[in-house]
A and B are shown apart, each in its own frame.
Chain A
Amino acid sequence: MRRLLLISVPYLWLLALFLVPFFIVLKISLSDTALAIPPYTPTLDLGAGWAGLKGFFAELDLENFWFLTTDDLYWKAYLSSVWIALFSTLLTLIVGYPIAYGMAQAREEWRPTLMMLVILPFWTSFLIRVYSWMGILSQEGVLNQFLMWSGVISDPLMILNTNTAVYIGIVYTYLPFMILPIYAALEKLDISLIEAAEDLGCSRFQAFWLVTVPLSKNGIIAGCFLVFIPALGEFVIPSLLGGSQTLMIGKVLWEEFFNNRDWPVASAVAVILLLILIIPIILFQRNEQKQREAEG
């Protein structure tokens, strides 16, 4: 009895507030836009009984999904989200790997402090961290002032409101997600393996490339997924740092919902985004499972 209660409370909560809402999105994505409250048809009328239910299902169709294929905006937004997320993930890896590597080789007594320094920004508001770049990247911002003062450029660069600013924003905010798994992999690495490689005639770089990188592969893969998956549906970064030409699907969904008030299309956008996300999520879980099996 007690066990049943223990299971059912969180279970019912998640069913009601996670699973059911998701099916509502699915259902509305199959509905039509209407000038009504709520702004779509058909609405489910349980009072009408079986006939009402049948009529309800008969009115659902894939029209909104067709609409997504006819307007360039949507598929371009999906493609450009995938591209922006991929490219920023790569940049995050390039920036994060040396940091994780340096941490793993630092003195043992420094490591907890270094870990804390990596995690601390993660506890600070995401919104504030994104916002902090607005003052740096704007036309009269700190970066442009510095570059002009040092004589590198004579006219201010336009960085804010471009895709470059979005890349910087993603790298900055998701960097801890990349560093921590790579650090975890590198920390376990046995130094004698690298020494062996060097004794056998590898240069330092070769030893790094042939021994260290392959042995930290799992950390790299985990880090890349942890950055790519949330970056794909990102809304705050493109809307604060990106410009009007920055297309990301999270922003499109938001605008479709709040500005155009087109709920069925917004729901259809959400359903497709989820279908795209399923692939990296499954790959990520497989990687985690393989790792667990290898360790266990």
Chain B
Amino acid sequence: MRRFSWFNATSLTLGFAFLYMPMVILIIYSFNESKLVTVWAGFSTKWYGELLQNEAFLSAAWVTAKVAVASSTIATVLGTMAAYVLVRAGRFRGRTLFSGMIYAPLVMPEVITGLSLLLLFIGIGLDRGVMTIILAHTTFSMCYVSVVVSSRLVSFDRSLEEAALDLGCSPFEAFRLVTLPIIAPAVISGWLLAFTLSLDDLVIASFTSGPSATTLPIKIFSAVRLGVSPEINALSTIMIGIVTVGVITASLISKRASLRLQAEEQAAART
């Protein structure tokens, strides 16, 4: 349907202004000279400088990066396996429970997930730290990965895999040489999703971390509880910048990959 009018133009403009204005204001104020975040006192990058000298923030950033890389990688492997089971394994005992456990964490309030994992870790006597946050993040993000990957697997032409098997591939080879390259875009976006979910998580990390491991969101949360701070504005600006660059790059890469795949398929159809 298509009918563009002044009404649509206004609602789009206002809508996108609403979505982006708070972040733009945040970015502008991160370059504010004054400590009073609401008074503009001239352009300065001093808060970025102070941020880079803040040991606590740097070590929290390091912990966050470790947790995010580890948990999103494990979650991608487990989530892809789970998607494969959901779409391909057919019927097996406890399938309903399995798909329930994949979908339930997506709607589970974070406070409950966090609380239940913490009680588990205490119950089995596991010391809380980087390790427990990785376990927690892997658990909820593997569910997101499996949803993303299974939607790609559903639309995938199974005969390609069967052809590979007929031509003498082992099931694992068929997966590696045929299935994986085709579902790769979904696997990559699943990994990215898991990565950002982990970077972002405050509630579950707060429950499952110990005094030895503070992540960046925990640090940010305890700093902003008392009010707006210019250092946090600077930190937020850096994080927004990284995400924007990352998302745009990823979408360009996936666009190019899908174009190439299309070209290859056309070339294959011609021969």
Contacts and interface: CB of A to CB of B under 8 A. Distances in A.
Q: Does B associate with A?
A: yes
Interface of A: 2-3, 6-7, 9-11, 13-15, 17-22, 24-25, 28, 38, 95-96, 98-99, 101-108, 114, 116-121, 123-129, 131-136, 138, 140-142, 145, 172, 175, 186-187, 189-191, 194, 229-230, 232-236, 239-240, 250, 253-254, 257-258, 263, 266-267, 270, 273-274, 277, 281
A125 B243 contact: yes
A99 B11 contact: yes
A190 B1 contact: yes
Interface residues of B, number: 82
B23 A121 contact: yes
Given A123-B243, A142-B38, A133 B107 contact: no
Contact of B139 (A14, A95, A270): A14
Given A267-B115, A277-B109, A38 B122 contact: yes
Given A9-B81, A10-B81, A124-B23, A99 B12 contact: yes
B227 A134 contact: yes
B243 A6 contact: no
B112 A270 contact: yes
Q: Give chain A's interface secondary structure class.
A: helix
B89 interface: yes
B109 A133 contact: no
Contacts of B52: none
Ranked 6 nearest A-B pairs via Cβ: A233-B109, A21-B116, A98-B11, A99-B15, A102-B8, A191-B1
Contact of A24 (B92, B116, B236): B116
10 contacts: A2-B171, A14-B101, A18-B101, A24-B123, A124-B239, A131-B220, A141-B38, A189-B1, A233-B110, A253-B115
A6 B142 CA distance: 15
Interface string B228-242: 100011001001100
